[in-house]
A and B are shown apart, each in its own frame.
Chain A
């Protein structure tokens, strides 16, 4: 480290690092958190060049366990990236605090190009905690564990035959062995991030594991969508990486800004990936992540954003206008972001959303659309996605989701309630022309699956002892063929079992 004045920022940071190295104890999470905090402080102080390199060297000395086996490489050293803002200010807090996102060259170039990487909504945990540096031994173990995991996921290959997700990825046309290796390494890091988030954020339980399962299915779909879009191998890799990062830093607390935090995570992790991505490719990945949160548009505008703004007491007319604009992401846009009035910007700033990125034009356009397509396919055009929604309706759920029949939650288009089919229609508005045939075939497949599940449920009911099957209105089966009486405990208990069986059958249909 260069000689510094005892009162310089570097000296103050070093003193803080020494104190934290002592006070953080031996706990892995505590020490990773300390390093992340110190890296953030260095970025905030604007350390660059020899000062930054010296400080990083000191961190390695003070926290050797955190940096164990971390490869030394020009692209792995972290530095502040001007123009790339992080989000430790809290909702309504300061916008524009910086944090460490990557190498001093590629990261800085990309950071300089991205003016929209802003949020004052805090991430659920520091990126340094979710994605700590991994040594080569740990990285190899994580990659092997991931390969075992993906080899256990049955999917349909590009030719329609049954295979595994790992095989489908490895056989995808055009991807090189270097790309395969990098994709696996990065997704393994993301998987580790979900595990770390689950440990750091115990509520709601299982949330991050659901995110991981979604990520796996989305990987399957993005491979299909890449072919539909005719993406080059480089753009295919970008779409895979963007898809994988899109929900990588997502929790209830940052739902409305998780796209920004996902983009920050991509810069944080990919800046140290080896071989390094080009600046152009890293920018494409990051922009695609930023733009992925637009769907389903009515949901995001009229439900999510409206609810958050109203809870903050925003003016009704302003809320209406913002909700309408977000509900139509292909209108009201300029340079990949919705154009808001000054009043609208003020209201959005109150809820930690300085910008609402939407699919724009440019080199990354097809990549961004592929990510949105894949996300829509997983959530709303496959049996597994509908199973997730079926589980949220019926007994023990909010009164708004207590419909008389199971099918209401799935296939109904009735205006008075929510359903999987209505969400499908909503999300279809942001599905690209290239992927729409896939999306519509997904609906046909899912509706056929629902029909088979209903038949299987009738057989399941017929096989039960008659004493276990209450008689509903008109002699029908409650929640299946007769309206469920939510005031009848026996009917409700039966409907609970029936719903569980329906969810199980729908999930099994995913792999038929």
Chain B
């Protein structure tokens, strides 16, 4: 998903899903499936790809 082949919409959606998972884990105190080097690396790769395309990961 973090690769350059994914569409910008898909990357943003994936980013949003990861963030939603982290928020739910924090809210409910449950196991955080994003609490891994792999997940953090995926987020970094998504953001890097988005910025390379001139897209703000936090943009509306």
- A→B interface (CB under 8 Å): 204, 207, 251-252, 255, 298-299, 302-304, 307, 310-311, 388-389, 392-393, 397-401, 403-405, 408, 412-418, 422-423
A393, A398, A412, A423: the one contacting B32 at CB < 8 Å is A398
Please give me the residue from chain A that is nearest to B17 by CB atom: A302
Whether the pair B16, A416 counts as a contact (CB closer than 8 A) is: yes
- Shortest A367–chain B CB gap in Å is 24
B13, B23, B29: the one contacting A207 at CB < 8 Å is B29
Q: Does B53 contact A (CB under 8 A)?
A: no
Whether the pair A414, B43 counts as a contact (CB closer than 8 A) is: no
A252, A388, A400, A414: the one contacting B18 at CB < 8 Å is A400
Whether the pair B23, A416 counts as a contact (CB closer than 8 A) is: no
Whether the pair B27, A416 counts as a contact (CB closer than 8 A) is: no
A392, A417, A422: the one contacting B57 at CB < 8 Å is A417
- Shortest A73–chain B CB gap in Å is 38
Q: Does B28 contact A (CB under 8 A)?
A: yes
- Please give, as numbers and ranges, the residues of chain A lying within 8 Å of B18 by CB-CB distance: 400
Show 8 A/B contacts (Cβ-Cβ < 8 Å), sorted by A: A251-B29, A299-B24, A307-B25, A416-B19, A416-B50, A417-B16, A417-B58, A418-B22
- Shortest A326–chain B CB gap in Å is 13
- Please give, as numbers and ranges, the residues of chain A lying within 8 Å of B9 by CB-CB distance: 415
Whether the pair B23, A408 counts as a contact (CB closer than 8 A) is: no
- Please give, as numbers and ranges, the residues of chain B lying within 8 Å of A311 by CB-CB distance: 31, 33
Please give me the residue from chain B that is nearest to A255 by CB atom: B30
- Shortest B19–chain A CB gap in Å is 4
Q: A252-B28, A307-B31, A400-B43 are in contact. Are A418 and B23 (CB under 8 A)?
A: yes
Q: Does B5 contact A (CB under 8 A)?
A: no
A252, A298, A422: the one contacting B31 at CB < 8 Å is A252
Q: A307-B31, A388-B27, A401-B26 are in contact. Are A415 and B21 (CB under 8 A)?
A: no
Interface residues in B1-58 (C-beta closer than 8 Å to A) = 9, 12-13, 15-35, 39-40, 43, 50, 57-58
- Please give, as numbers and ranges, the residues of chain B lying within 8 Å of A299 by CB-CB distance: 20, 24
- Shortest A447–chain B CB gap in Å is 16
- Shortest B53–chain A CB gap in Å is 13
- B→A interface (CB under 8 Å): 9, 12-13, 15-35, 39-40, 43, 50, 57-60
Please give me the residue from chain A that is nearest to B33 by CB atom: A307
- Shortest A368–chain B CB gap in Å is 21
- Please give, as numbers and ranges, the residues of chain A lying within 8 Å of B34 by CB-CB distance: 398, 400
Whether the pair B60, A392 counts as a contact (CB closer than 8 A) is: no
Please give me the residue from chain B that is nearest to A426 by CB atom: B20
- Please give, as numbers and ranges, the residues of chain B lying within 8 Å of A251 by CB-CB distance: 29
- Please give, as numbers and ranges, the residues of chain A lying within 8 Å of B22 by CB-CB distance: 398, 400-401, 418
- Please give, as numbers and ranges, the residues of chain A lying within 8 Å of B13 by CB-CB distance: 415
Q: A255-B30, A398-B26 are in contact. Are A415 and B20 (CB under 8 A)?
A: no
- Shortest B31–chain A CB gap in Å is 7
Please give me the residue from chain B that is nearest to A298 by CB atom: B20
User: A398 to B37, alpha carbons, bound, how many Å?
Assistant: 12
Whether the pair B21, A303 counts as a contact (CB closer than 8 A) is: yes
Whether the pair A418, B33 counts as a contact (CB closer than 8 A) is: no
B20, B30, B59: the one contacting A418 at CB < 8 Å is B20
Query: Which of A392, A397, A404 gathers the greatest number of chain B CB atoms within 10 Å?
Result: A392
- Shortest A342–chain B CB gap in Å is 26
Query: Which of B12, B26, B57 gathers the greatest number of chain A CB atoms within 10 Å?
Result: B26
User: A62 to B34, alpha carbons, bound, how many Å?
Assistant: 50
User: A255 to B50, alpha carbons, bound, how many Å?
Assistant: 34
User: A255 to B26, alpha carbons, bound, how many Å?
Assistant: 12
Whether the pair A389, B57 counts as a contact (CB closer than 8 A) is: no
Please give me the residue from chain B that is nearest to A483 by CB atom: B58
- Please give, as numbers and ranges, the residues of chain A lying within 8 Å of B39 by CB-CB distance: 400
User: A299 to B32, alpha carbons, bound, how many Å?
Assistant: 13
Q: A303-B20, A303-B24 are in contact. Are A252 and B40 (CB under 8 A)?
A: no
Whether the pair A392, B16 counts as a contact (CB closer than 8 A) is: no
